[in-house]
Structures are given as structure tokens and as C-alpha cells.
């Protein structure tokens, strides 16, 4: 017997898109307006698949289970970079302090470097944005960003 809940195509789309985001944020498409938007979000809230958080909605553990996934667990030692404490590491690099790019540089300057997931969590960016910013650091600022693999086979970026 199949125990997976019945989802409408719109509900499935919203849940799967939120599951791909690092923060689990539910962002309805611009084409979903008015009563349809309210109905879909209300249904997801009533079933406990999403919950309100600071003016938007995020996916719950039940929401991940509804689409057959589990909430991703960040690796040990991953925390958002506090750029105000790490500004001395930006010495000689023309990056405005307190920005996401500064957080990226701080993470890349650590001796162990940073994986793509760590950079995504530190900046709140999608994977393609992280890769684009790294490319910009190479091209525009002339930084030597190296790519290696760690013991788990993950890509690790470093400024060397």
C-alpha cells in the first residue's frame, strides 16, 4: 500500500523547489496569483508541510517527507561567516566589508578552504551563483582560487 500523500501538481512543484533551496524557503512562482496562491499555501499550511517564518514560508520535516526526501543536514563545522570578525583576512583584496562577497572571501581564506555547500550556507546563494562569484574573484580580482577534493570527494575551494 502506498503511504505517500496525494499532492496536486502545484503543491509538488512548490515543495520540490523549496527542497532544492539551502534554506528550504517556499517561493511561489509569479504566475500563481490571487485565490490559487492562497488556496495552495493554505493547503500546505493545514497539512503541516510548510510553516511561516519571518514573512515567508519554509518547508517542514513533514514537507520533505511528503515528497519523499529528508531535510539536508549541514556538515559539521558549517556556520555562517561573521565578516565583522574576519575583516583582517580581506587585507589587500578590494571587497566591500560586510557583503556576501566578503563572506565568500573569508570562507575561501580559511586554511581548510570551503566546500560549495559551506559557501552556499555562508552567503545564502544558489550553487551557480557561488561558482559565478568564484569565477569573478579569479577574473576581476586576479585571485588564485584553487579547487581540490577532500576525503569525501567534495570539491574544496581555497584562495592560495
Contacts of 62 (CB under 8 A, 6+ apart): 47, 48, 49
pLDDT in tens, 2-50: 566 788 888 888 888 888 887 888 888 888 888 888 999 899 999 999 9
Q: Quick check: 80 pLDDT over 60? A: no
- Of all residues in the chain, the percent with pLDDT exceeding 90 is 21
Q: How confident is the model at residue 1 (pLDDT cuts 50, 70, 90)?
A: low
Q: Quick check: 90 pLDDT over 70? A: no
Question: What is the pLDDT, as a whole number, of residue 134?
Answer: 92
Question: Is residue 36 a contact partner of residue 42, using CB atoms and an 8 Å limit?
Answer: no
Total-model pTM: 0.47
In angstroms, rounded to a whole number, what is the distance separating the alpha carbons of residues 35 and 21? 25
Q: How confident is the model at residue 128 (pLDDT cuts 50, 70, 90)?
A: very high
Amino acid at each position: 500500500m502506498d503511504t505517500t500523500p496525494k499532492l496536486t501538481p502545484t503543491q509538488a512543484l512548490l515543495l520540490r523547489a523549496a527542497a532544492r533551496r539551502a534554506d528550504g524557503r517556499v517561493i511561489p512562482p509569479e504566475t500563481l496569483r490571487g485565490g490559487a496562491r492562497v488556496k495552495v499555501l493554505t493547503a500546505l499550511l493545514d497539512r503541516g508541510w510548510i510553516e511561516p517564518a519571518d514573512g515567508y514560508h519554509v518547508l517542514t520535516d513533514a514537507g520533505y517527507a511528503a515528497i519523499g526526501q529528508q531535510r539536508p543536514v549541514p556538515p559539521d563545522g558549517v556556520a555562517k561567516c561573521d565578516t565583522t570578525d574576519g575583516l583582517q583576512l580581506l587585507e589587500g583584496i578590494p571587497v566591500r566589508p560586510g557583503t556576501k562577497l566578503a563572506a565568500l572571501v573569508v570562507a575561501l581564506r580559511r586554511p581548510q578552504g570551503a566546500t560549495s555547500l559551506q559557501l552556499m550556507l555562508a552567503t545564502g546563494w544558489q550553487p551557480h551563483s557561488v561558482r559565478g562569484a568564484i569565477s569573478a574573484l579569479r577574473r576581476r580580482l586576479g585571485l588564485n582560487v584553487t579547487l581540490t577534493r577532500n576525503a569525501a570527494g567534495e570539491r574544496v575551494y581555497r584562495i592560495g
